[in-house]
């Protein structure tokens, strides 16, 4: 079974995809809800999550919820600025780094935030937050991605 539904709601482009999980022998399905906002304004994430939850609940979905958001900074950051940005992001939610990479204008840091219920295990450590920062050299921008429990999309 596979289905795709797209529409616009609250000024956001919302795509809903339902497909069979081919890796699971129990005949389970994957529900992917992607919400996009390409405006130069912040979105009310709590309101978006409430909408997503109502859609998932309405069709009887149970399982894990992952969230990924992307932002754009209109400048290139130095390695020191990237390190500071990641530290500020983790500090703002009282998360502690678990593992990651910080090299040549790129960062991908996995962390654990006790405020978030869902987590994955990496070795013996819990992680439920990932921050990735990378340059977009074609446009002199910096892309910032945040996901929980991890970033599930390309970055």
28 and 44 together in one domain: yes
Comparing C-alpha atoms, which of 133, 130, 129, 131 is closest to residue 115? 129
What is the predicted pLDDT for the residue at 144? 92
Between CA 132 and CA 70 the distance in angstroms is: 9
**How far are the Cα atoms of 41, 54, 135 from residue 129, in angstroms, in the given order?**
23, 23, 20
Assess whether pLDDT exceeds 90 at residue 106: yes
140 and 97 together in one domain: yes
Residue 155 maps to a domain: no
Which pLDDT band, with edges at 50, 70 and 90, does 58 fall under?
A: low
Q: 34 is in which domain, residue-wise?
A: 2-63
85 and 144 together in one domain: yes
Residue 136 maps to a domain: yes
pLDDT in tens, 77-91: 999 999 999 999 999
Assess whether pLDDT exceeds 60 at residue 3: no
Assess whether pLDDT exceeds 70 at residue 97: yes
Residue 15 maps to a domain: yes
Domain final position from 11, 35, 63: 63
Question: What is the number of domains present in the chain?
Answer: 2
pLDDT in tens, 117-141: 788 898 899 999 999 999 988 888 9
What value does the mean pLDDT take over residues 65-77? 83
59 and 74 together in one domain: no
In the chain, which ranges are continuous DSSP H helix?
45-58, 79-92
Regarding predicted confidence, which is higher, 20 or 78?
78
Complete DSSP assignment for 110-148: EEE-TT-S--EEETTEEE-EEEEEEEETTTTEEEEEEEE
What is the predicted pLDDT for the residue at 118? 81
Between CA 107 and CA 135 the distance in angstroms is: 10
What is the predicted pLDDT for the residue at 2? 44
For the chain, what percent of residues have pLDDT higher than 90? 30
Residue 131 maps to a domain: yes
């Amino acid at each position: 079974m596979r289905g795709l539904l797209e529409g616009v709601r609250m000024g956001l482009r919302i795509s809903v995809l339902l497909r069979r999980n081919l890796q699971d022998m129990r005949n389970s399905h994957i529900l992917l809800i992607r919400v996009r906002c390409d405006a130069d304004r912040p979105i009310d994430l709590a309101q978006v999550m409430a909408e997503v939850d109502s859609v998932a609940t309405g069709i009887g979905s149970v399982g894990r919820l992952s969230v990924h958001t992307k932002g754009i900074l209109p400048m290139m950051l130095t390695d020191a600025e990237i390190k500071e940005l990641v530290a500020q992001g983790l500090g703002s939610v009282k998360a502690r780094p678990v593992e990651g990479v910080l090299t040549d204008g790129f960062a991908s840091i996995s962390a654990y935030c006790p405020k978030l219920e869902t987590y994955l295990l990496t070795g013996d450590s819990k992680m439920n937050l990932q921050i990735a920062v990378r340059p977009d050299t074609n446009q002199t921008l910096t892309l910032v991605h945040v996901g929980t429990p991890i970033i599930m999309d390309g970055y």
